[in-house]
Amino acid sequence: MRIDVLTLFPDVFNNLNSFSIIKKAVDSSKVKIFTHNLREFADNSRKVDDYPYGGFPGMVLKIEPIDRCIENLKKSNNYDEIIYLTPDGVLLNQKTSNYLSTLKNIILICGHYKGIDHRVREYLVTKEISIGEFVVSGGELPAAVLCDSIIRLLPGIIGDESSALSDSFQDNLLSPPVYTRPENYKGMQVPKILLSGNDYEIQRWNDKKSVERTKLLRPNLFDNH
């Protein structure tokens, strides 16, 4: 899988490649992440932003550097999706991450300031994604979150691939509680059923707890399920 990130701050992703699951994926060539500094596609002044028309406050990323960067990338690659990270995009969920993990090449556009010239969204972007109903300073951290949610699903990245299938939201339910040793810590005990070795009863317990936690914590998910 190839991920191209258009950003004003490529160093954010250089650090991202150096730890945990993403480092493993990069080192094993399961994924290649390329960052592209939009200032390198700006005019000679390297100016990437300007005042918005209409007299509104703030600054807006210009269309030219974004378009030039995408055109340059398309000369040597075909892209399945061009994604803009934005608070008013479609809320990221597991279904979307599952879908994106099956693609070959994607572009992520990281906005900044008051956002990007809307013509980018109208004519160049194929999908808009939000990681939550809140605003952060730029699209770099949301893009990093999206990358992690995709990359961990690639075959061979997680040691036990069945583990990803039991994550929260895979079946529109929250995952059940999990425990590890010691089985008794200061009087706080692991549920006996999990120590029984009875796979059938353990699965029934897991299913029951998933439903209970979803009803309690995320009833909207249970309604959808």
pLDDT over 80 (residue 225): no
* Average pLDDT value for the chain: 91
Least confident residue range of 23-32, 95-104, 165-174, 206-215: 165-174
- CB 17: neighbour CB atoms within 10 A? 16
pLDDT over 80 (residue 73): yes
Report if residue 161 sits inside a domain: no
Q: How far apart are CA 162 and CA 158, in angstroms?
A: 9
- The count of structural domains within the chain is 2
Are 178 and 83 within one domain? no
Report if residue 171 sits inside a domain: yes
Q: How far apart are CA 134 and CA 87, in angstroms?
A: 6
- List residues bridging with 95 in a β-sheet: none
Query: Domain limits at 204?
Result: 166-224
Structure pTM? 0.86
Are 183 and 144 within one domain? no
pLDDT over 80 (residue 107): yes
- CB 81: neighbour CB atoms within 10 A? 15
Report if residue 157 sits inside a domain: no
**Residues 179-204 pLDDT 10s:** 999 999 999 999 999 999 999 999 99
Query: 182: cis peptide before it, omega within 30°?
Result: yes
Provide the token pair at 153: 């699903």
